[in-house]
Amino acid sequence: MLGEIPQLLVNGLVAGTILAVPAIGFTAIYAVLRFPNFTIASHATIGAFAGYVANTAGGWPAAAAVLAAFVVTGAIGVVNDEVVLKPLRPSGALTTAIAAIALTIVLENVVRFVFGNDLRGYDLPIRRDWQLGGGMRIGPQQVENLVIAVVALAALFLFLAFTRTGKAMREVADNPTLAGIKGIDADRVARLVNFIAMGLAGVGGMLLGLDTSIDPLTGFRVILSVFAAAVVGGLGSIPGAVVGALTVGVGEELSLLVLAPAYRTAVGFLAILIVLTLRPRGILGERAY
């Protein structure tokens, strides 16, 4: 049984890297707009289906279809925020969170209306797993997903660290009042963060779907792990979301040693309980009260 650990670690790191993509979306919106945007779930589903259409109807390879998932989901995310959530933000973070849950149900059912409840698979070439030695193996699709996730994360970090707009976003997250005084347009930053965050959610949804299959609940099923990644890493911290996602990803895989596979997602909830009890700010976050 212990011999399985290296394989589980490999799987966990791959799963964690993919989980980091939507987790960053969730935490980035929290950092700038200060409310938990649960629509990340339905946007992940929308991304999975946008990529599916590009892949099967458009004949695009997976890597290109991911780009379509990003752009389509990002654009839909901006519209949703402008029309539904932004007008409610003055009523408070929790009211907005309630509206976000309602919006998630609406969007999920739009997808269900169009595509139905059937499981759908992407059109992917069939390839043999690669042997890594010592009985460990990894699927080429897993590697491709990993590369896509890493490229997305690297692009985001470069954007936030070096571009003017990226710096403006961090400034608003850090201190909105000061950012306003400096003449940074908060509305513009809000639209941008929504585009990027929801785009990432869409990419995350598609990467998850590439491994298995997709249906209207694809996003909702992963939501517990996304929350766990964001909370463990520290809500509102982008590097934290990556650390949290890797922790949760590896934790979920290692739990297979002691728990039935069905309880994998419950590990995330357990992680949230432990972190909030012992260190509510998470690994890299700010204060949580």
Residues that bind another protein (CB under 8 A): 30, 35-36, 38, 84, 87-88, 91, 93-95, 97-99, 101-106, 108-110, 112-113, 116-117, 220, 223-224, 227-228, 231, 235, 260, 262-263, 265-266, 268-269, 272-273, 276-277, 280, 288-289
DSSP designation for 4: G
Cβ burial, residue 11 (10 Å; 0-12/13-18/19+): buried
**Which residues neighbour 136 within 8 Å (Cβ) at sequence distance 6 or greater?**
6, 7, 10
Nearest distance from residue 182's CB to another protein, in Å?
Answer: 26
Minimum distance from CB of 172 to another protein (Å)? 18
What secondary structure does DSSP assign to 212-265, as a single string? S-B-TTHHHHHHHHHHHHHHHH-TT-HHHHHHHHHHHHHHHHHGGGTS-GGGHH
Residue 202, token pair as written in the block: 């869409």
Of 38 and 70, which has the nearer Cβ to another protein?
38
Minimum CB separation from another protein for residue 39, in Å? 11
Whichever of 5 and 94 has its CB closer to another protein, that residue is 94
214 phi and psi angles, rounded to 5 deg: -125, 150
Identity of the residue, 229 or 238, whose beta carbon is nearer to another protein in the bound complex: 229
Q: Cα(34)–Cα(235) distance, rounded to whole angstroms? A: 10
Judged by beta carbon, residue 34 or residue 182, the one nearer another protein is 34
What DSSP state is assigned to residue 163? Answer: S
Nearer to another protein, 98 or 158 (CB): 98
